[in-house]
Amino acid sequence: MKKSLILGLAVLLTLTACEKIDNEVFFKVGSKLEYKFSDVELYDSSTHILYFKNVHDEFKNIIDDSFTFLVNGNIIYSGSFWPPYSSSLASGPSISSPLYGTGIYTLRIENGYSEGADIRNDSRLMTAFEEHNLLHSGLTVAPNSIEIDGEQLTFMFTVTNKDQSNLLILDLDKMGPNLFHYFTNGLSIYNLTHNEVFSSNIQHQVPESWDNWKANWLSTLKSGDSKQFTINYIIANPITPGEYNISFEFPSRYVTIDQLYQGDARIWLGDIRINQKVTIQ
């Protein structure tokens, strides 16, 4: 009888362990919604965007719920869904509630007012994504130079594909500066006392419709490759040579889940902001 009991407990523990592995949950929303690694297409650590394999329109009804990332049942970090129309910014990790349309298959995790190491790229979570072949590195964007010649300011920057996949990115040279600046506010320059001394004055061009995009706006950036872009601005007031802080956002164009992959390349989503100090000669 005792042997049978021990054997029964061993079988039960084995089944429980197998069930835990088969139903490993890494992302929870509130107390009802749970998602496993098998639900995910990839995680882009450069933009902190979680891509799901399928559309999840249940996300559009989430306004002020909480979310939690876990690894092996241990909480890595938590945050809240934040209404996009809110007049305040969330402190700590948040996801802007996607209250628009249908076809939602991505969630972007923001991290406002945070200091120190970025909890969104916690090594335990990144290791878990990597073990499931879900971790992608996306893009990096770096300024090359800012040159001033009379009333012309020339800003050069480089986009590098750190991802293991070929990526399709918005190509400034193909779109032209006016259409490109519809998707970004462009370059801003601040002195060291945080006063703005220049901001983009390129008139943006509105696309034919808000959900319209064209393949000829994009260029393929192969894994490991870089591409340099140049933007020419007109400056109304002279800028004294010296050290300044700059802000620039490299953008993308959101596409539906069936458009995400084009041949052997994935359309890169999100945006990357440059915020750093530069020297203007």
- Interval 5-31: pLDDT, tens: 444 444 444 544 444 444 489 999 988
pLDDT for 100: 53
Show the domain range for 24: 18-135
Going by C-alpha positions, the residue among 123, 219, 134, 132 that lies closest to residue 168 is 219
Domain count, the chain: 2
Same domain for 112 and 149? no
Same domain for 142 and 272? yes
Please check whether residue 10 lies inside any domain of the structure. Answer: no
Quick one: 257 exposed, middle or buried, by C-beta within 10 A (0-12, 13-18, 19+)? middle
Same domain for 144 and 209? yes
Name the stretches of the chain with pLDDT < 50. 1-2, 5-13, 15-23
pLDDT for 211: 63
pLDDT for 87: 64
Domain boundary among the residues 105, 135, 165 is at: 135
Please check whether residue 247 lies inside any domain of the structure. Answer: yes
| Chain CA centroid to CA 18, Å | 34
Same domain for 143 and 103? no
pLDDT for 17: 47
User: Do 52 and 106 touch, CB atoms closer than 8 A?
Assistant: yes
Same domain for 71 and 174? no
pLDDT for 101: 54
Domain boundary among the residues 135, 165, 184 is at: 135
Please check whether residue 11 lies inside any domain of the structure. Answer: no
pLDDT for 114: 62
Q: What is the pLDDT of residues 105-133, one digit of tens each?
A: 999 999 876 667 789 989 999 999 999 99
